[in-house]
């Protein structure tokens, strides 16, 4: 099925025309990032030299995508906006709520029963508001988007941090919170601080065991989890043409792990071929007419230091496979060094489970290369020494690999195929272990994220991220120190054998097949359709507007001072809590439950400053809310990294937290806090973090004159009667300050549309 052809035609025609205006005004060569961003600015006056990393600019994205866990809250917010239909093409993808337990068929059937109320809500709201709906089992949002909607030169936002996956098809695709999606769905411009641009020059060509995944695994080691914050990563150079479209998508997908706004590759023959193979030949023809402008200008390629804010070069020919982890995706280790490092760090050497697939690595090419390793296992009389789990990315991928015998290859080494959904990648995994839960253990995945407890809820699980090919080899060895490039295995007959490098096909020889995509178009006549939410529902809850914010914040109690890494998984864990993603009161019971209290080194244990007793964070905060006591949370570096889930901002707001003061923020989470009306501040001097004591009361002054680039004053009152005064910075612009004063951006949207109706 060809989606949005008229839209794509309009976008690419407008793109070419706008570029003439851009060139006239800037009078210099352009990066690909600049071409696409400038062609999507909402106000043509913003087609000028913009100070990257400093100025906020409004854009008009072409489309919105949401997955079922984030769509619930986003759509509950949209229902308050007063719009009869979404203003741009929008889709909902049901991929997050399917628990991986036994296998594809039984897991999907159980999910349909367990989540019936939520699926019915998402379906009905999609029908009513003109949203395309992808059924449970249809596939993972990012793979489905790549197969059906992504196109070179386009711009998309999605309520999932791995939305940048579409950059593999030359699209600016950015992960956002639900409130941002509501803006665009409501027909309003979307605001973004104009990113800096990191140019990554690729030379050479991948060979042997090395895969596209290793490009981003290496880059994560260079940049760390926050090194890409505020940047779009633009890949260029001759090496880009040697990587398949889906390989490019893998690299862009995991750019989220370095904090990048998104990542993008220039248009080439590999993208053209992918469009044709996925039934979009007419889109490929359109792209060919503007192909020169779907790449950076030649002088940018020849003199990158003059146009990118920073440049990194990677020689693909000398790249080796990587394993990243445990507990963070930027702990990068070349496979030749993993043995030494694992032993030195006392990591569990036995591999208990290997998992391949997910939104990051579930293409036909990925799975066919892994299948070649599985076939070798049979021919060389090797048996799997670890559990082997496979997650196809879409129904199209599933049906195609089933037809081509790839599923059988996996089953021949006892592989278990799960539903076309996220599953273990996001903690939706009923893992069956025989050892005690507090026993350190090792798993290897081709996923993107490996924070503690991320996959199976066990803080002792050491998760390592690698390519599907390396994961499959480690399943056969059962040992994290195995290097298939140099090491041999002992087969059933006691003979030493060595694995050959993987081989696979970029596309299926007989084309893709899909008998039932799982797509449901919106209703043509929807004015009389209703969206019902039961008053006694434990899964869904209609939203009430948050109250406005007025004046200085005086006498805030310290709810929690967080020590070290605090991702959105720490603030609002997934796993079993996913079922409450549409019920703000219920899910708020998990608020900050994974964050470590700096004063007792415990999670979900904070001091009630009224009763002097310790309780869970949500219990103590609910107590304060009932008493009318405002609170503040203090955090460390890169606070809120990871998933885009806006629940990590909405829950503290709902419970009564007034401000978050940290050393630094991750991009998406900072915006989510602003959108929901929580004051997001950073220490002007990061060392002031150390001044905060457990029983402090805190004032935030200067809010009566809250203005851009003007620091606020923070007064810390200690229990011994002393006080300290420090400064706190913020990144609010004039529009965002109005969000804060109104009590949240949605309140402004609602007021705008209610005035139009009057």
Cβ proximity of 393 and 95 under 8 Å? no
196's enclosing H/E stretch is: strand 196-203
Q: Which tokens hold the place of 236?
A: 């260029």
> Rounded distance, CA 45 to CA 37, Å?
14
CA-CA-CA-CA torsion for 507, 508, 514, 518, nearest 10 degrees? -40
What sign for the dihedral angle of Cα 532, 535, 540, 545? positive
Q: Where are the beta strands (DSSP E) in 674-745?
A: 679-683, 697-701, 712-717, 723-729
Q: Which tokens hold the place of 106?
A: 């039984």
Question: How much is the CA Rg of the chain, to the nearest whole Å?
Answer: 25
- Reference 421, options 359, 480, 473, 464; nearest CA is 359
If 0-12 CB within 10 Å is exposed, 13-18 middle and 19+ buried, where does residue 567 land? buried
Q: How far apart are the first and last CA of the chain?
A: 41
> Rounded distance, CA 518 to CA 138, Å?
5
> Rounded distance, CA 210 to CA 466, Å?
10
405's enclosing H/E stretch is: none
CA-CA-CA-CA torsion for 32, 289, 237, 25, nearest 10 degrees? -30
Cβ proximity of 155 and 195 under 8 Å? no
Q: What are phi and psi of 587, to 5 degrees?
A: -70, -20
Q: Which tokens hold the place of 518?
A: 């799982």
DSSP state at residue 169: G
> Rounded distance, CA 395 to CA 398, Å?
5
- For 2-24, b/e burial (b = at least 16 CB within 10 A) is ebbeebbeebbeebeebbeebee
Dihedral-angle region of residue 427 (phi above 0 means left; psi in -120 to 50 means alpha; beta otherwise) = left
Q: How many residues can be counted in the chain?
A: 758
Q: Where are the beta strands (DSSP E) in 370-518?
A: 387-391, 415-417, 441-445, 461-465, 489-490, 496-497
> Which residue shows structure tokens 């990648």?
425
> Rounded distance, CA 705 to CA 687, Å?
26
> Rounded distance, CA 182 to CA 176, Å?
10
CA 208 to chain centre: 29
149, β-bridge pairs: none
CA 252 to chain centre: 11
Cβ proximity of 311 and 325 under 8 Å? no
- The C-alpha angle 361, 362, 367, rounded to 5 degrees, equals 100
> Would you please indicate which residues are annotated as catalytic (active-site) residues?
95-96, 160, 449, 643, 645
263's enclosing H/E stretch is: strand 262-264
DSSP-based three-state secondary structure for 79 = coil
């Amino acid at each position: 099925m060809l989606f949005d052809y008229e839209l794509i035609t309009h976008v690419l025609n407008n793109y070419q025309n706008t570029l003439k205006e851009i060139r006239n005004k800037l009078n210099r060569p352009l990066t690909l990032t600049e071409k696409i961003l400038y062609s999507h600015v909402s106000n043509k006056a913003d087609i000028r030299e913009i100070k990257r990393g400093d100025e906020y600019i409004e854009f008009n994205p072409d489309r919105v995508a949401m997955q079922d866990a984030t769509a619930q809250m986003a759509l509950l917010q949209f229902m308050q906006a007063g719009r009869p239909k979404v203003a741009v093409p929008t889709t909902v993808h049901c991929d997050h709520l399917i628990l991986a337990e036994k296998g594809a068929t039984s897991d999907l059937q159980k999910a349909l029963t367990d989540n019936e109320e939520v699926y019915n809500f998402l379906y009905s709201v999609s029908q009513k508001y003109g949203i395309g709906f992808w059924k449970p089992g249809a596939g993972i949002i990012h793979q489905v988007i790549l197969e059906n909607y992504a196109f070179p030169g386009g711009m998309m936002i999605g309520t999932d941090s791995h939305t940048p996956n579409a950059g593999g098809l030359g699209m600016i695709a950015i992960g956002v919170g639900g409130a941002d999606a509501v803006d665009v769905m409501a027909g309003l411009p979307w605001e973004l601080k104009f990113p800096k641009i990191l140019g990554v020059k690729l030379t050479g060509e991948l060979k042997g065991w090395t895969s596209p995944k290793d490009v981003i695994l290496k880059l994560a080691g260079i940049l760390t989890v926050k090194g890409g914050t505020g940047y779009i990563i633009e890949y260029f150079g001759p090496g880009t043409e040697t990587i398949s479209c889906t390989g490019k998508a893998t690299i862009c997908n995991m750019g989220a792990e370095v904090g990048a706004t998104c990542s993008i590759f220039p248009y080439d023959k590999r993208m053209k071929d992918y469009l044709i193979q996925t039934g979009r030949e007419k889109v490929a023809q359109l792209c060919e007419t503007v192909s020169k402008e779907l790449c950076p200008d030649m002088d940018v390629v020849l003199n990158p230091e003059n146009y990118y804010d920073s440049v990194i070069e990677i020689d693909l020919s000398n790249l080796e496979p990587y394993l990243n982890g445990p507990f963070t995706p930027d702990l990068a280790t070349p496979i030749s060094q993993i043995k030494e490092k694992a032993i030195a760090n006392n990591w569990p050497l036995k591999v208990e489970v290997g998992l391949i697939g997910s939104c990051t690595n579930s293409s036909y090419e990925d799975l066919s290369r892994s299948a070649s390793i599985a076939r070798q296992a049979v021919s060389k009389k090797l048996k799997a020494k670890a559990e082997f789990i496979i997650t196809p990315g879409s129904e199209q991928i599933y049906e195609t690999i089933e037809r081509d015998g790839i599923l059988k290859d996996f089953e021949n080494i006892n592989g278990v195929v799960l539903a076309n959904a996220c599953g273990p990648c996001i903690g939706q995994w009923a893992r069956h272990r025989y050892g005690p839960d507090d026993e350190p253990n090792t798993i290897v995945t081709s996923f993107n994220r490996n924070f503690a407890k991320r996959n199976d809820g066990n803080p002792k699980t050491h998760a390592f991220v690698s390519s599907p090919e390396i994961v499959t080899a480690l399943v056969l060895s059962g040992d994290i120190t195995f290097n298939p490039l140099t090491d041999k295995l002992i087969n059933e007959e006691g003979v030493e054998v060595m694995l050959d490098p993987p081989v696979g096909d970029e596309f299926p020889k007989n084309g893709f097949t899909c008998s039932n995509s799982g797509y449901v178009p919106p209703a043509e006549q929807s004015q009389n359709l209703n969206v019902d939410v039961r008053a006694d529902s434990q899964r869904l809850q209609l939203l009430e507007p948050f109250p406005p914010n007025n004046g200085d914040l005086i006498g805030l109690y310290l709810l929690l001072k967080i020590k070290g890494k605090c991702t959105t998984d720490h603030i609002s864990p997934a796993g079993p809590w996913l079922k409450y993603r549409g019920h703000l009161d219920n899910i708020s019971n998990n608020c900050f439950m994974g964050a470590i209290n700096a004063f007792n080194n415990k999670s979900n244990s904070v001091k009630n400053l009224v009763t002097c007793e310790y309780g869970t964070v949500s219990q103590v905060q609910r107590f304060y809310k009932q008493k009318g006591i405002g609170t503040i949370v203090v955090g460390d570096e890169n606070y809120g990294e990871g998933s885009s889930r806006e629940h990590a901002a909405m829950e503290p707001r709902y419970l009564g937290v007034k401000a978050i003061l940290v050393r630094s923020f991750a991009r998406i989470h900072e915006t989510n806090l602003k959108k929901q009306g929580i004051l997001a501040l950073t220490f002007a001097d990061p060392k002031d973090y150390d001044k905060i004591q457990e029983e402090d009361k805190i004032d935030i002054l200067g809010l009566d004159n809250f203005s851009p680039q003007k620091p606020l004053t923070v007064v810390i009152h200690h229990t011994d009667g002393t006080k300290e005064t420090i400064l706190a910075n913020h990144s609010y612009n004039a529009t965002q300050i109005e969000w804060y004063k109104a009590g949240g951006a949605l309140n402004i949207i609602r007021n705008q549309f209610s005035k139009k109706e009057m």
